[in-house]
Amino acid sequence: MLNGAEHTSLRLWNEQAIPVTACCLDIGIKKLPNPQHQFAIGIDQALFFTNQSRAAKLSEDGISVVSIAKYHNPMEELNVNADKKQLESVMDLLHPGWRKEVVVQQFLPKLTVSYDFPHVKRKRNPGPSIPEMKGIFIAGDWAGHEEVLADAAVASGKRAALEILHVNEMVLAKEG
Ligand SMILES: Cc1cc2nc3c(=O)[nH]c(=O)nc-3n(C[C@H](O)[C@H](O)[C@H](O)COP(=O)(O)OP(=O)(O)OC[C@H]3O[C@@H](n4cnc5c(N)ncnc54)[C@H](O)[C@@H]3O)c2cc1C
């Protein structure tokens, strides 16, 4: 979006970025076979199940909408079929017989959760200013320094705001 970005730090931040991706199976279901299993999170696997309809009205006819997601390992090659089977097998474990209750479902094989996160291969943290482009500041969940996700979005926004105030103060001081 920025002309000449490839000649600035944006290029390094782009090159060093490791996007976090996930696959997700969304299911519209008449009822959950095991009502005790409303939420589950993997400890030894990056899996996550939640019944979104516990908190939100997502259908007009009482159908529940549940999601099961898996974070990808960026070091491993994507295997869409294996991912889908794995998500279905977790449903088998949590909700035996779930297939009989399904009204509609969609499988999303690769969603970008965040375009970067603080990892050890980073050479330099992104932002808040772009040193080679005066007056442009960056924020977003990919621009976290130690933070991730919403925390990174807010923290990087705060860093950008403070930097803008600092730059303005210096300009005002120069103008006397
Ligand atoms: C299902 C789900 C669950 C999540 N759960 C959690 C959680 O439990 N805890 C947590 O901390 N985080 C969670 N997150 C992550 C969190 O929502 C994000 O990290 C956060 O919203 C990122 O904020 P952001 O401002 O960086 O980006 P975004 O919220 O993605 O905002 C970017 C904005 O830019 C706009 N945009 C994009 N391109 C253009 C363009 N060319 N021109 C103009 N506008 C543009 C987009 O429309 C969007 O409004 C979750 C995310 C999802 C999807």
9 and 61 in one domain? no
145 and 83 in one domain? no
Average pLDDT, the chain: 95
Domain that holds residue 61: 20-114
In the chain, the number of structural domains is 2
Query: In CATH, what number is assigned to the domain containing residue 31?
Result: 3.30.70
Burial class (CB in 10 A: 0-12, 13-18, 19+), 142: buried
Ligand 1 midpoint to CA 170 (Å): 32
Pocket around ligand 1 at a 6 A CB cut-off: 114, 140-141, 149-151, 153
pLDDT-derived band at 137, boundaries 50, 70, 90: very high
pLDDT-derived band at 131, boundaries 50, 70, 90: very high
Distances (CA, A) of 138 to 13, 40, 76, 154: 11, 35, 30, 12
43 and 26 in one domain? yes
Q: Is the pTM of this model over 0.95?
A: no
26 and 13 in one domain? no
137 and 100 in one domain? no
From 141, 142, 148, the mutation candidate for ligand 1 (largest count of ligand atoms within 8 A of CB) is 141
The full DSSP string for 38-69 is SEEE-SSS-EEEEEGGGTS---SSS-EEEEEE
